[in-house]
Structure 1
Amino acid sequence: MSSIDKAKLRTVYLRKRKMLSSEMSAHIAGRILEQFKLFLTQIQVKNTHVFLPITKQNEINTWLIVDYLLSQHIDTVVSQSKLETNQLIHYLYKNPNQLEHNKWGIPEPVHGTVISEQDIDLVLVPLVVFDRQGHRIGYGKGYYDRFLAGCRPDCLKVGLSMSPPLDIIPYVDTYDIPLDYCITPLKTYHF
């Protein structure tokens, strides 16, 4: 599979996701939250990095997860995109007053306590589609691959997906960081 094939898969799965009704999207987000709660009972983390949803992409409503983490007194980390370097800066999330929308409509922190990648225990990874080996197709900018490469080896990399996995994404770049788990509405996959 070439990068052109990845682009085609990205387009197809983004289109499918955008076609979901708001009711179905809310139902899926609720199911993913339940799977996430179950997942958290099996591990121990002090903090979790959460991507904030891009509404126009009909991404999973991760605000449900943020609220749950805060209720469990688990530190929540969110990121700001540095467009000039395609990198992320991570901040401890305290409240919505820290956030502003960037040019893609993503809520991002503009101030707060900066958190090192090395201090993050679990990263919830956005994706468009994933496969049974833990490879994923994201939005194609490489933000999360660069971010995950800087995390500790024991940091858990957990995807969130509205749909089940493909059998395989055969074209994988050397810089693509595979997931350890992927949470879907029906089950959690372990790789």
Structure 2
Amino acid sequence: MTAKATLREQILTELQKMDRATYEQRSRAIAEQLFQEEIWKKATTIGITIARFPEIATRAIIERAWQDGKTVAIPETNNKSKAMKFRVYKESDELCKKALGLYEPLESAVVVQKNDLDLLIVPGVLFRTDGYRIGFGAGFYDRYLMDYQGATISLCYREQITADFMPEPHDLPVQKLVIENNLK
């Protein structure tokens, strides 16, 4: 197992010990921090995943985006090509459950061009304070970020911050971290 895989497994194991009430409360608090960010306020089209426990819950963020009149786009992944694209997600849209239990848009949903995404909320498992991250291991976001020109932000629990890994040449940092309780 690689060092990244070991770190990923350790933090996910730790986070999975969180009870549901604590998880929901902590996720709400981080979402409220996000809503105060200028990068959030200015964005009109947001790329975001449908999170799974123990990832920071994204449902309230998506609902707030809709309330604020923002366009929400969620990723559709292709496991064979390892490519990812974002499709518009509206309140009434159905989702399909894909590999790894991820919920993704139907193929009938409108594709959002990469340069039309103002803000991409990039998921991750571990983060350095300079924005480098360890993702979930498939590399979808690393490939997507290579030529993405919009703003990038990641949401993280305080225990997801570490200095225990070195970025690899293909890794790209996010521009901003929203760390639980505004820790830096």
Work out whether the TM-score is over 0.5. Answer: yes
Q: Is the CA contact (8 Å cut-off) linking 1:129 and 1:137 kept in structure 2?
A: yes
Q: Is the CA contact (8 Å cut-off) linking 2:158 and 2:183 kept in structure 1?
A: no
* TM superposition shift of 1:140: 1.2
For these two proteins, the number of residue pairs brought into alignment is: 183
Q: Is the CA contact (8 Å cut-off) linking 1:79 and 1:90 kept in structure 2?
A: yes
Equivalent in 115, 120, 123 of residue 117 of structure 2 = 120
Residue 69 of structure 1 corresponds to which residue in structure 2? 65
Is the alpha carbon distance of 1:157 and 1:169 closer, same or farther for their aligned partners in structure 2, counting shifts above 3 Å? Answer: farther
Residue 88 of structure 2 corresponds to which residue in structure 1? 92
Q: Is the CA contact (8 Å cut-off) linking 1:130 and 1:169 kept in structure 2?
A: no
* TM superposition shift of 1:161: 1.0
**Structure 1: 5+ residue stretches without partners:** none
Q: Is the CA contact (8 Å cut-off) linking 2:98 and 2:104 kept in structure 1?
A: yes
* TM superposition shift of 1:98: 3.2
* TM superposition shift of 1:115: 0.7
Residue 109 of structure 1 corresponds to which residue in structure 2? 105
Q: Distance in 1 between matches of 2:126 and 2:2?
A: 15
Residue 12 of structure 2 corresponds to which residue in structure 1? 14
Q: Post-superposition, which runs of at least 4 consecutive aligned residues in structure 1 deviate over 3 A?
A: 40-43, 164-167
Q: Distance in 2 between matches of 1:144 and 1:117?
A: 12
Q: Is the CA contact (8 Å cut-off) linking 1:182 and 1:188 kept in structure 2?
A: no
Is the alpha carbon distance of 1:84 and 1:133 closer, same or farther for their aligned partners in structure 2, counting shifts above 3 Å? Answer: same
Identity %: 21
Taking structure 1 as the reference length, the TM-score comes to: 0.88
Deviates more, 1:79-88 or 1:170-179: 170-179
Instruction: Please list the CA deviations of residues 11-53 of structure 1 after superposition, one character each: whole Å capped at 9, or x if unmatched.
Output: 1100011110001100111101110111147751121111111
Alignment of 1:1-191 (within 5 A): 4-40=2-38, 43-55=41-53, 58-110=54-106, 111-152=108-149, 155-164=150-159, 166-187=161-182
